[in-house]
């Protein structure tokens, strides 16, 4: 049976190659089925691997980078070729320009050479796992406020209060809509959009059309929310590894009296087991240490690769050694840390590793950094006109323009030794990784 399957696969690949050569272009992808229910985890397929195509942005950034050894090294790689790399992670896909957690966003990230893709995971009213960064972000990431589902939002739309004579904003527009208030069938009727809102909106239509000037709505054109198991099928078809982050519930647990945190933590593992995904291809992630303990007990084969998300805290800053010892005692092997916790400036304005980053390396804890290209345009020590930024942290005053993004990537690689970088536009990290020989 295996030999017959191998022959059939070889025949199909040969036919595809001939069609590609004769047609002078990539073969068309398999048409989606008529109903979403047909997207079982293992059914999405691709005839040939995606050709990595970085687009203009990495080269635009390189053009802005100041002359020096780093630019000289990166200039030598302009001609490619470029390959997918595990060093480059598609953070929710490619949400700099594509609606996050959508097929289009993930496919764009894979085309840009992201070797790993992230699906943030939460649950619906009928306990279906779905890809959402937050359990209650539907108002800013979908068109729900313009649909019949809007009245069922936990906090329906409230218009902004603006002084009619001065234009001063008294109260920002607000709405809060959560996945747990809707079934999976209902969520499938929504259209995804760029994560944004207009705080001065006086109507739902205006509220959902607030994308930042440095992003775009060009690709917000009817794509739908993905379930977690659909993401598994898609990522497998794209040939990437998988980083599902189990989001902390925004509602009291047990949900509706029966769905416990244990059920939730196990459900994400069960999706991969049902799909037959090797544990080596999955990097479970959570910011909750108790979730990691549950994975270690329930699915040790998946827990080995698990990533603990961390955020700035007083303990990590002032009691670094004790904090890191607690991670090791909990069996944590890898952490995902904000870039601002890993890099800083020395007294000559050079980017260097923080003491925290150095301590992680001494403890032999691997590091993944988040998140690159999420802040906006950089100019003269400011990002979008602001003098502070969560992601760039204390480095920002030393930056002249967007080309300095390469300085960040280089410092994360050379000074911190990160294993990979989450990015909202993976092409830039892919370019760097290929240039310096990172797989």
What is the Cα–Cα distance from 391 to 371, expressed in whole angstroms?
Answer: 7
Give the bridge partners for 370, in sequence order. Answer: 338
What is the Cα–Cα distance from 39 to 230, expressed in whole angstroms?
Answer: 6
Whether residue 81 is preceded by a cis peptide bond, meaning omega within 30 degrees of 0, is yes
Helices (H) and strands (E) in the chain, counts: 16, 17
**Per-residue pLDDT tens digits of the chain, which is 439 residues long:** 333 344 344 443 434 333 333 333 333 333 333 334 434 444 565 534 568 999 999 999 999 999 999 999 999 999 999 999 999 999 999 999 999 999 999 999 999 999 999 999 999 999 999 999 999 999 999 999 999 999 999 999 999 999 999 999 999 999 999 999 999 999 999 999 999 999 999 999 999 999 999 999 999 999 999 999 999 999 999 999 999 999 999 999 999 999 999 999 999 999 999 999 999 999 999 999 999 999 999 999 999 999 999 999 999 989 999 999 999 999 999 999 999 999 999 999 999 999 999 999 999 999 999 999 999 999 999 999 999 999 999 999 999 999 999 999 999 999 999 999 999 999 999 999 999 999 9
**Res 25: pLDDT:** 37
What is the Cα–Cα distance from 3 to 158, expressed in whole angstroms?
Answer: 63
Which one-letter DSSP state was computed for residue 401? B
Strand locations in 10-145 (E): 85-90, 114-123, 129-131
Nearest-CA neighbor of 119 among 236, 267, 42, 228?
228
What six digits make up the tokens of 179? 């996945």
Which one-letter DSSP state was computed for residue 158? E
Which one-letter DSSP state was computed for residue 184? H
**Res 12: pLDDT:** 36
What six digits make up the tokens of 33? 């089925």
pTM for this predicted structure: 0.89
**Res 39: pLDDT:** 40
Find the DSSP H helices in 310-387: 314-318, 320-329, 355-362
The answer to whether the CB of 337 falls within 8 A of the CB of 372 is: no
**Res 274: pLDDT:** 98
- What dotted CATH number matches 40-132+225-436? 3.20.20.190
Give the bridge partners for 309, in sequence order. Answer: 336
The answer to whether the CB of 429 falls within 8 A of the CB of 75 is: no
What six digits make up the tokens of 39? 């997207």
**Res 394: pLDDT:** 96
What six digits make up the tokens of 104? 């289009």
What are the residue boundaries of the structural domains of the chain, listed by start? 40-132+225-436, 136-215
């Amino acid at each position: 049976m295996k030999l017959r399957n191998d022959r059939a696969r070889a025949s199909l690949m040969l036919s595809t190659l001939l069609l590609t050569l004769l047609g002078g272009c990539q073969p068309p992808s398999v048409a989606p089925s008529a109903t979403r229910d047909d997207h079982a985890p293992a059914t999405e397929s691709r005839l040939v691997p995606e050709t990595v195509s970085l687009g203009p942005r990495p080269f635009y950034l390189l053009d802005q980078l100041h002359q020096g050894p780093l630019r000289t090294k990166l200039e030598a790689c302009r001609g490619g070729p470029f390959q997918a790399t595990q060093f480059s992670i598609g953070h929710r896909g490619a949400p700099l320009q594509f609606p996050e957690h959508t097929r289009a966003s993930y496919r764009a990230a894979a085309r840009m050479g992201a070797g790993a893709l992230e699906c943030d995971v939460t649950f619906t009213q009928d306990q279906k796992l779905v890809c959402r960064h937050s359990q209650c972000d539907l108002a800013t990431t979908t068109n729900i406020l313009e649909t019949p589902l809007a009245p069922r939002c936990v906090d329906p739309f409230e218009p902004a209060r603006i002084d009619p004579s001065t234009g001063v904003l008294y109260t920002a527009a607000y709405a809060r809509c959560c996945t747990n208030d809707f079934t999976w069938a209902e969520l499938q009727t929504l259209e995804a959009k760029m994560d944004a809102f207009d705080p001065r909106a006086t109507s739902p239509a205006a509220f959902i059309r607030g994308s930042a000037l440095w992003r775009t709505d060009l690709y917000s054109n009817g794509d739908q929310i993905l379930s977690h198991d659909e993401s598994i099928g898609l990522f497998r078809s794209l040939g990437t590894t998988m980083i599902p982050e189990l989001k902390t519930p925004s509602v009291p647990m047990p949900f509706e009296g029966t769905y416990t945190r244990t059920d939730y933590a196990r459900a994400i593992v069960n999706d991969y087991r049902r799909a037959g995904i090797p544990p080596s291809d999955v990097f479970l992630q959570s910011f909750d240490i108790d979730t990691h303990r549950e994975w270690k007990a329930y699915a040790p084969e998946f827990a080995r690769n698990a990533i603990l998300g961390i955020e700035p805290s007083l303990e990590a800053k002032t009691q670094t050694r004790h904090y890191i010892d607690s991670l090791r005692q909990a069996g944590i092997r890898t952490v995902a840390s904000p870039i601002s916790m890993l890099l800083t400036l020395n007294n000559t304005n050079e980017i260097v590793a923080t003491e925290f980053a150095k301590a992680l390396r001494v403890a032999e804890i691997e590091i993944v950094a988040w998140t690159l290209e999420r802040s906006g345009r950089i100019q003269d020590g400011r990002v979008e006109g602001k003098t502070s930024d969560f992601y760039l942290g204390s480095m920002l005053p030393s930056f002249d323009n967007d080309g300095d993004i390469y300085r960040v990537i280089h410092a994360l690689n050379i000074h911190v030794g990160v294993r990979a970088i989450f990015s909202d536009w993976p092409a830039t990290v892919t370019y760097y990784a290929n240039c310096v020989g990172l797989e």
